[in-house]
Structure 1
């Protein structure tokens, strides 16, 4: 068994697609119209047939309180692996990304937490 799909709830799918592709560097995999929303997924260019991230519309009534609680408590909605957290932090800051947590080293793990502009905190992580 392997993970095929994960999702993050987003306020605006077009805005999320721009952020996740133009800023974070993912590639669009699927974009299927479903009424007013879309089945919209992105993948890592390093693994185009790997795990997809669904940019899921945040319209369900349970989503807003759930996301608000996560953001208030500083809990990331998901985590992305990077080779060098500090370098990725610097690259993303230069693109105007706001971070809720600057890079922190805890033993063999380095993390930072960014705001995806779509209602979520996202962690970037490297494990030595």
Structure 2
């Protein structure tokens, strides 16, 4: 068994698709704008899981996304080889981080705002 697809609730799936592909570097997996359906996946992993950019228009989804955001909790964690280098790259593209990277027994982490209603954590082992 493996993860085939996961989702993240976003305020605007089309806007999120642009950010996740153009800024973060994910690749389009399925794009159906007429259905507000946008799925991306990590580059160079053709059989990897998809990430559905889920519309947050259902009251339960909106409450969940908003609660996480209001608490400053990341909605999802993305693994990277070098948190500092990724922070530098993304900061140059205008991405806003909540603070400097932190290192503990679990690795190095940094959190940024995706501009689509979520905080995202970068993690390096």
User: Which runs of no fewer than 5 residues in structure 1 stay unpaired?
Assistant: none
What TM-score results when the alignment is normalised by the length of structure 2? 0.93
Number of equivalent positions: 125
- How much does 1:64 deviate? 2.2
In structure 1, what is the equivalent of residue 54 of structure 2?
56
1: CA distance between counterparts of 2:87 and 2:64?
Answer: 26
Runs (4 or more) in structure 1 with deviation over 6 Å come to: none
Matched, 1:30 2:15: no
Task: Give runs of aligned pairs for residues 54-93 of structure 1, distance below 5 A.
Answer: 54-93=52-91
**Residue-by-residue CA offset, 1:45-66 (whole Å, 9 max, x unaligned):** 1212201100011110112221
Cα RMSD of the aligned pairs, angstroms, is 1.3
1: CA distance between counterparts of 2:44 and 2:110?
Answer: 21
2: CA distance between counterparts of 1:69 and 1:29?
Answer: 29
Q: Which moved more, 1:40-49 or 1:1-10?
A: 40-49
2: CA distance between counterparts of 1:116 and 1:24?
Answer: 9
1: CA distance between counterparts of 2:63 and 2:114?
Answer: 17
Name which of 94, 97, 101 aligns with 1:96.
Answer: 94
- How much does 1:90 deviate? 0.6
